[in-house]
Amino acid sequence: MNKKYPKINYIGNKEKIASWICDQLPSDVDTVADVFSGGCSFAYEAKKRGYRVITNDILAINYQIALALIENNHETLNDDDVAMIFQAARMPVL
Q: What are the domain boundaries of the chain?
A: 29-88
Distances (CA, A) of 57 to 24, 35, 43, 61: 23, 6, 12, 9
**What was the pLDDT predicted at 6?**
66
d(CA 9, CA 88): 25
Residue 32, classed as helix, strand or coil, is strand
Query: Span 14-39, mean pLDDT?
Result: 94
Amino acid at 39: G
Q: How does pLDDT run across 4-13, given as a tens digit for each residue?
A: 666 677 777 8
Q: How many angstroms separate the CA atoms of 35 and 58, rounded? A: 10
- The vertex-81 CA angle with 67 and 6, nearest 5°, equals 50
For the entire predicted model, the pTM comes to 0.73
Q: Residue 81's pLDDT is what?
A: 82
